[in-house]
Amino acid sequence: MKVFHVTLFLQLRKSLGLLCFLQLFDAVNCLAKENTRVLVLGRKHMLMNSANWKREIMKEMQNKADFFFAENISEDDAFLLYATLRSGKHCRFVTRDFLRDHKACLSSSLTRHLFRKWQRGHQIVFFPSADGRSIKFLPALRYDCVVQTTGDTWHIPYKDVFEEKYSYQVPRKWLCIQQKL
């Protein structure tokens, strides 16, 4: 089995068509520039030349990354999780999927907690720029986003505004409180 630095799975919505394909192309190019070993997980329909999938661009991407194409009706999240875990603890993954269904299948709260912690440390978030001309990656966290204490000092993660949070959307601001004796 090949070892990858990043497994990339961009959930594509038919309504966005060519736009999603071009975002995938941009993501592969961006990661390839960093000499990152990339595995792109997709579905077999991506190999067909169509208005949304350009065969020549797909070939160009295949020269920059490895690809695995699952059946069009498959549950491809399992492939993403397997490839990421099998590639080792250094491997990160890119997906817009929050993996809620997988968390819900885990039997204990401890296992769900460990999965969320692993996800926060390995999921890279992909954002197209506002103008749609470039992409940005928000790196996986290198720390656990929970209250941390050292001696008489507390570090508390917080957000300025309340909003529904997904597993990768964690506070990036910290409140530092020190007890005065």
pLDDT tens-digit series, residues 21-76: 778 888 888 888 888 888 888 888 888 888 777 888 889 999 998 888 888 876 77
Sign of CA dihedral 64, 70, 76, 80: negative
- Each residue of 48-60: pLDDT tens digit? 888 777 888 889 9
d(CA 121, CA 174): 18
Token pair 């999240």 is found at 77
pTM over 0.85: no
**What is the end-to-end Cα distance of the chain in Å, rounded?**
57
- Pseudo-torsion of CA 64, 68, 71, 75, nearest 10°? -110
Domains and CATH numbers, the chain: 6-142 (3.40.50.11980), 143-181 (no CATH)
> What is the C-alpha to C-alpha distance for residues 24 and 89, in angstroms, rounded to an integer?
24
Residue type, 168: Y
